[in-house]
Structure 1
């Protein structure tokens, strides 16, 4: 037998079967040894912190369950009896829970808030479940039908919009159409193909500025009519510039038409009398206000933050300076200052007789404030994308917006998921600051209930704050856990 034959005879023709690890390397004992008692110092820290956690858990359990009061109609049920230690006063929570959720909303109309909660859950739960289909329709519902339904239910609708309001919306929508060629063809090519529409838009802005500076009634009326005509004309010219070009640009026209029709339909819905009792925003409160402010801020801050981040990285100096100025100015002041300015100072800059609802001002202030921080989070994700991704997208002939939407932003947002969710959690907790402008959120309405003399006792306040803390923890922990699930599903950590 040759040397070659002897070598071949020892070659295995099947893989070695997988064997389980040794018993001393598996199980809970090995897990404790590796993670909690890997060294003497690690064991000491584990024992100390574990004992502290058990002691704290026992004290909380004793206060909330063992020594708690579960029934009663007034403070007498929460006072210590027969030398027993005082525990949580759950009858107080039961009595005040409706107010904590609905605020000062009329009791007979609380079904409207319950319907809003149900509508929100019906759209959010399928959206968060990756295996369920029709995500596009779900997003459309959450961004269009649900906000309109919520607004009508909570306020009552029937706003009696004037014909001038419809004309203003038509003018704004037409004026917004002038930007569609810039998005479809890029800045330089869009200007070349739509110079007439942009010229009409510039004339519209000039006349509008004149109407603001010069306030005589006849002049304002005449210029307002001219502004309306020029705005509609600029929109028509811009849409025609898109329609007559290649077929790929028609999707922008279709999207604009859908948005325009939807906006008019929303106005008609707000103008329709559904027979609901009007409820002022001053009667809202509790968890309702917390969710309205936080959800609106979360939904609005992400797209605004993306646009600001793109503007800060833009090659156009004017856009870059404006984006940087806004971001740095907003990040340089606390949220409480922004809310105070929106509530107190903003009406001073408005024309006489014009005013906005206090809650609406808070929503705008919170959205703008959060968008500045979100812009920096998104910018960090954009800077983490390798330069080769940009070069590869441009080599394929993609336009700027195609490159951003299809290549860059999906990767940047995936990388930024932890920081984005962190911003959302901070925003949810910062809603407590709306008390500075007279809005009673969950924490503020709970503090109001603690002043009720009928429930005054040493354990009333600890019980109330414990429940409020658990509510905030439940929402924040849910957002954190879902973000972790999304990271694992998308392999955001790029684990090897």
Structure 2
């Protein structure tokens, strides 16, 4: 049979196609990401139109007509004696944030002792940054210093009453330092505890499996507000007479246990995604359960659920604002507390304070999100690109 009678046989050579558009140039990136299809072009134009409509007003409120310096509400008041201000001011009251900035960061921590908080913050940066950089050596030593030594040293520095340091009670702690302490401890505790709970839920031992299931489902079945309320109100009822637990410690324990239950389910999802053959191969090599779990199963499972882990960390960081129910003032709540200060009562003060709080939360959450994406790319070694 002649190939001329076969309709599916190509008779002409395919015309050469143009080379792919390079995304390394600005024009190539725009064509690939914003102008690739007619739908993309329409959506890009609509987005630019919305930005052109909203951005000038936002910039005007945030920067142009904002009040940057001052010692009281007179610099931010829209109404002055005799009527409306003649300059038509209606911008953000950053003078309020500047005047109360130290309180937002340290709460009511004594002024002369705030160097201790700053020192703890510097120690955290010095220990955390090298741990987050994959190529730097001595990760084990760094982790021991950060998660075991640093919390003990930080507690004695912040609380005092040792080595000649004045005692600072936890009710005086507040602001950003409380948010960071609760978040750091919650993250440091919830990750290993969540791994143990996830392994326990998959354990063949009925007692251990039942305990882990009950813990996870009970904690996940109630809101964090209830967990904190129970830790603050109900826990003292079960303690021996004369015993008491500091409110801050109750908050730390409640937040950590709550995050551990959610972390356990995230880790369990990664464990279930690992093919059964991975464990069987480790068994055939004679590895023990813990060797198999530590060297083969867990590294693969954690790599798969990095987005879920970081999402839990981000949620934990934002949920620290709920400690107000037990009388503690984190960043958001101490900002809200200052709204009633007669020195700064103006229509723009609450909005400016909330914008400032939102900006701080966004910086930390966005940083965690970007680091998560970086680690996903760094650990994505399963396929050649």
Tell me the TM-score normalised to structure 1 length. 0.70
What residue is the counterpart of 1:297 in the other structure? 186
Say whether the 8 Å CA contact 2:216–2:261 is kept in structure 1.
yes
Alpha carbons of 1:25 and 1:349: their partners in 2 closer, same or farther (altered >3 Å)?
closer
Q: Using a 3 Å threshold, how does the CA distance of structure 1 residues 492 and 92 change in structure 2: closer, same or farther?
A: farther
Q: Which residue of 1 aligns with 2:112?
A: 108
How many residues align structurally?
Answer: 363
- The equivalent residue for 1:181 is none
Counterpart in 2 of 1:459? 348
Unaligned runs of 5+ in 1: 1-19, 158-272
Matched, 1:96 2:100: yes
Match of 2:343, SS state, is: helix
Rounded Cα–Cα distance in structure 2 between residues aligned with 1:135 and 1:30: 40
Distance 1:299 1:25 in 2: 39
Residue in structure 2 matched with residue 405 of structure 1 by the alignment: 294
Contact 1:487 1:493 in 2 (8 A): no
Return closer, same or farther for 1:464/1:24 CA change in 2, 3 Å cut-off. Answer: closer
Q: Which residue number corresponds to residue 165 of structure 2?
A: 276
Instruction: Kindly provide the CA deviation profile for residues 458-479 of structure 1, in whole angstroms up to 9, marking residues without a partner as x.
Output: 2111111111111001111111
Contact 2:195 2:263 in 1 (8 A): yes
For 1:279 and 1:377, the matched residues in 2 are separated by: 38
Contact persistence 2:69–2:98 (CA under 8 A):
no
Correspondence for 2:35 among 34, 37, 50 = 37
**Unaligned runs of at least 5 residues, structure 2:** 1-17, 79-84
Q: Which among 139, 143, 153 is matched to residue 143 of structure 2?
A: 139
* Residue 425 (str. 1) matches residue 311 (str. 2): no
1:43-65, Cα deviation, whole Å (9 max, x unpaired): 22221122223433332211111
Match of 1:334 among 188, 198, 223: 223
> What are the equivalent positions in structure 2 for 1:111-126 lying under 5 Å apart?
111-126=115-130
Q: Partners in 1 of 2:318 and 2:27 — Cα distance?
A: 40
Instruction: Give the distance between the partners of 2:361 and 2:131, measured in 1 at CA.
Output: 22
CA deviations 1:8-33 (Å, max 9, x no partner) are xxxxxxxxxxxx94789985444433
Change (3 A) 1:25 1:438: closer
RMSD: 2.0
How far apart are the structure 2 equivalents of 1:24 and 1:395?
48
Asked if structure 1 preserves the Cα contact closer than 8 Å seen for 2:66 and 2:94, the reply is: yes
Give the CA deviation at 1:37: 2.9
Q: Is the 8 A contact 1:414 1:492 kept in 2?
A: no
8 Å Cα contact 1:331-1:369 kept in structure 2 = yes
**Aligned match of 1:313 in 189, 195, 202?**
202
From 47, 70, 82, give the equivalent of 2:86.
82
**CA separation in 2, counterparts of 1:23 and 1:343?**
61
Give yes or no for the alignment of 1:64 onto 2:62: yes
Q: Which 10-residue stretch deviates more, 439-448 or 85-94?
A: 85-94
Give CA-to-partner distance per residue, 1:352-392, whole Å, 9 cap, x none: 11110011011111111110100000000001111111011
Report the structure, 1 or 2, having the larger helix content. 1
Give the distance between the partners of 1:295 and 1:301, measured in 2 at CA.
Answer: 10
1:52 maps to 2:50: yes
With normalisation by structure 2, the TM-score equals 0.90
1:39 positional shift:
3.4
Matches within 5 A, 1:344-383: 344-383=233-272
2:131 to 111, 127, 131: 127
Q: Distance in 2 between matches of 1:278 and 1:26?
A: 57
Distance 1:448 1:24, change over 3 A: closer
Are the equivalent residues in 1 in contact too, given 2:159–2:167 (CA < 8 A)?
yes
